[in-house]
Amino acid sequence: MKIVFISLTGQTRKFVKKLNMDSLELSAANPFQVVEEPYIIVTPTYDKEVTEILNDFIETANNQHFLKGVAGGGNLNFGKLFVFTAKDLAHDYNVPFLHSFEFQGNEEDVNLIKKAVDQIDNYTS
Ligand SMILES: Cc1cc2nc3c(=O)[nH]c(=O)nc-3n(C[C@H](O)[C@H](O)[C@H](O)COP(=O)(O)O)c2cc1C
């Protein structure tokens, strides 16, 4: 399973690094990349204009077919808007919302994502 992510201030990048899995970082300069293997998205939470590159990526080539779930990082101070980006993506593309965490996450967040990925691997293989 590949991890596809964006990160503006580095928190999500730190989280993904802790997962120690194959990963692909998207930026505004390179959203239209093609993947041909299962992946999950790990995204921070920002206004739609900022995270639109994830939609661009998912809708490139056959990428949507390989999307297996979405996890989100955010800041609980945003209240009801906590991790809305990941929740909206999971809803819009009809895949599981896997987990939410704050900033760069903690050990428990890392373990929970790994567990979720294992479950998807078992289910799809
Ligand atoms: C302008 C701005 C808007 C944000 N809006 C939200 C939000 O609506 N909900 C939320 O949970 N976090 C929000 N955050 C927090 C970020 O998603 C959070 O800090 C995240 O860990 C940043 O990840 P990054 O460093 O990988 O970019 C916002 C942060 C900024 C700077």
Contact 54, 43 (CB under 8 A): yes
Instruction: Output the CA torsion sign for 92, 49, 56, 113.
Output: negative
Residue 123 confidence (pLDDT) above 90: no
- Which residues, judged by CB distance below 6 Å to any ligand atom, belong to the binding site of ligand 1? 7-13, 44-46, 73-75, 78, 81-84, 103
- As a whole number, the mean pLDDT across the chain is 97
Radius of gyration of the chain (CA): 13
Residue 81 has what pLDDT?
A: 98
Q: CA-to-CA distance for 13 and 44, rounded, in angstroms?
A: 10
Residue 39 has what pLDDT?
A: 98
Place of tokens 């998912």: 58
C-alpha 113 to ligand 1 mean position (Å): 19
Nearest-atom index, ligand 1, CA of 15: 26
Atom 30 of ligand 1: nearest residue by CA position = 46
| DSSP conformation letters of 25-73 | E--TT-------S-EEEEE----HHHHHHHHHHHTSTTHHHHEEEEEEE
Half-sphere exposure at residue 54, Cβ-oriented, CA atoms within 13 angstroms: 31
Residue 124 has what pLDDT?
A: 75
- φ and ψ of 18, to 5 deg: -65, -25
C-alpha 72 to ligand 1 mean position (Å): 10
Residue 67 has what pLDDT?
A: 98
Residue 116 has what pLDDT?
A: 96
Q: Which two tokens stand for residue 114?
A: 């790994």
Give the model confidence (pLDDT) of 14-33 as tens digits.
999 999 999 999 999 999 99
**75 secondary structure, DSSP code:** -
Q: Residue 54's pLDDT band (boundaries 50, 70, 90)?
A: very high
**Average pLDDT value for residue range 34-40:** 98
Report the percent of the chain where pLDDT is more than 90. Answer: 96
Pairwise pLDDT comparison (100 vs 124), residue with the higher score = 100
Nearest-atom index, ligand 1, CA of 5: 26
Atom 16 of ligand 1: nearest residue by CA position = 74
The pTM of the full predicted model, rounded to 2 decimals, is: 0.98
